[in-house]
């Protein structure tokens, strides 16, 4: 899949150290929460601090580059923070709350960050929440659904980030959630449908939940959205890593019903000869 500005990107590090800010200031000497020394920062206070740091790191050129990963009609806002720097900021913010926060604090922080429009702020909220995976509760899936419905997860980059950082670990902890998750494939909301697919990718890669993976792809074969064609193709490709024969049977069985983008993604790891044969056999 394409790279994003949330977790990785083509930009190189600006050269500033993990604790440095523009002008040489040190982000580790922040006094987050504006309370007494050692006080636990509130989710709202940490979110304000995150926004301040990201704004100080803003680079219009990087923001413009970030927007090129999305379609022109998408209203993507970005501070323009290079990926290595963003990772360092996330690490510093987590240091402020490690050992002090519980899951409810991290969820509250994500609520505040996701309500913002900037891609980096939303990414920070998701990534910090992901650090609390050992405390995840099954009801968190409903919170994710509410974020999707509210438009807080409204582009492929933040959906995929939340899928890998929050939903996949949640499903790992509570596998009984898989049927509910895949049921989201019937939603009219594009991003809810995409979330029904992408969290299964790391499982399919290791031969897990393959029945559910093929089932959700089959239900989505008629989806008109290109982003869904890419997501289902990605899932099929990963499913084929441990059982290529099953993937080939699926492709031949559904033939012309499979969008060509989905098919091309799915067969990427086959040999050139196999790809040509499958492209011809599924027309």
48-83 per-position pLDDT tens digit: 999 999 999 999 999 999 999 998 778 899 999 999
CA dihedral 153, 159, 165, 167 (to 10 degrees): 90
Long-range CB contact pairs, 138-146, < 8 A, 24+: 138/170, 138/173, 138/174, 138/176, 138/177, 140/103, 140/107, 140/166, 140/170, 141/167, 141/170, 141/174, 141/177, 141/180, 141/181, 143/107, 144/170, 144/195, 145/184, 145/192
Measured CA to CA, the distance from residue 197 to residue 15 in angstroms comes to 37
Task: Please report the pLDDT score of residue 37 as a whole number.
Answer: 53
User: pLDDT grade, residue 220 (50/70/90)?
Assistant: very high
Task: Please report the pLDDT score of residue 253 as a whole number.
Answer: 97
Instruction: Say whether pLDDT at 131 is over 70.
Output: yes
Please tell me the number of Cα atoms within 13 Å of 208 on its side-chain side.
12
Task: Please report the pLDDT score of residue 36 as a whole number.
Answer: 54
Domain ranges of the chain: 1-135, 172-283
What mean pLDDT comes out for the span 85-104? Answer: 97
Task: Please report the pLDDT score of residue 38 as a whole number.
Answer: 60
Instruction: Say whether pLDDT at 233 is over 90.
Output: yes
What mean pLDDT comes out for the span 5-25? Answer: 40
On average, the pLDDT of the chain sits at 89
Task: Please report the pLDDT score of residue 135 as a whole number.
Answer: 98
Please tell me which residue, 238 or 39, carries the higher pLDDT value: 238
Closest CA to 126 of 179, 76, 162: 162
Measured CA to CA, the distance from residue 267 to residue 241 in angstroms comes to 10
Measured CA to CA, the distance from residue 93 to residue 120 in angstroms comes to 13
CA distances to 44, 56, 64, 176, 206 from 30, in Å = 15, 13, 29, 42, 42
Task: Please report the pLDDT score of residue 120 as a whole number.
Answer: 98
User: pLDDT grade, residue 177 (50/70/90)?
Assistant: very high
Q: Which CATH architecture has domain 172-283?
A: Alpha Horseshoe (1.25)
Closest CA to 228 of 165, 276, 184: 184
Task: Please report the pLDDT score of residue 31 as a whole number.
Answer: 45
Task: Please report the pLDDT score of residue 40 as a whole number.
Answer: 85
Instruction: Say whether pLDDT at 1 is over 80.
Output: no
Burial 190-208 (b: 16+ CB within 10 A, else e): bbbbbbbbbbbbbbbeeeb
Q: Which residue reads 């790809």 in tokens?
A: 275
Instruction: Say whether pLDDT at 119 is over 50.
Output: yes
142-176 per-position pLDDT tens digit: 999 999 999 999 999 999 999 999 999 999 999 99
Task: Please report the pLDDT score of residue 23 as a whole number.
Answer: 42
Task: Please report the pLDDT score of residue 11 as a whole number.
Answer: 35
């Amino acid at each position: 899949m394409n790279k994003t500005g949330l977790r990785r990107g083509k930009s190189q590090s600006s050269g500033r150290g993990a604790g440095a800010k523009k002008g040489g200031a040190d982000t580790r000497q922040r006094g987050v929460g504006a309370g007494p020394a050692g006080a636990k920062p509130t989710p709202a206070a940490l979110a304000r601090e995150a926004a301040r740091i990201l704004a100080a790191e803003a680079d219009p050129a990087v923001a413009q580059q970030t927007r090129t990963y999305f379609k022109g009609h998408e209203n993507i806002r970005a501070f323009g923070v290079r990926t290595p720097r963003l990772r360092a900021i996330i690490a510093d913010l987590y240091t402020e709350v490690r050992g002090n926060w519980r899951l409810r604090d991290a969820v509250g922080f994500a609520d505040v960050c996701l309500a913002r429009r900037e891609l980096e702020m939303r990414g920070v909220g998701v990534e910090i929440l992901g650090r609390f995976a050992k405390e995840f509760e099954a009801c968190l899936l409903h919170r994710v659904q509410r974020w999707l419905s509210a438009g807080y997860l409204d582009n492929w980059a933040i959906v995929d980030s939340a899928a890998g950082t929050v939903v996949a670990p949640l499903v790992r902890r509570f596998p009984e959630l898989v049927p509910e998750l895949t049921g989201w494939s019937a939603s009219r909301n594009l991003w809810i449908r995409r979330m029904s697919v992408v969290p299964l990718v790391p499982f399919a890669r290791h031969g897990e939940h393959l029945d559910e993976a093929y089932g959700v792809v089959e239900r989505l074969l008629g989806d008109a959205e290109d982003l869904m064609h890419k997501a289902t193709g990605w899932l099929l490709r990963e499913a084929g890593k441990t059982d290529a024969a099953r993937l080939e049977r699926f492709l031949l069985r559904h033939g012309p019903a499979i969008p060509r983008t989905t098919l091309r993604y799915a067969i990427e790891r086959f040999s050139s000869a196999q790809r040509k044969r499958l492209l011809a056999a599924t027309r």
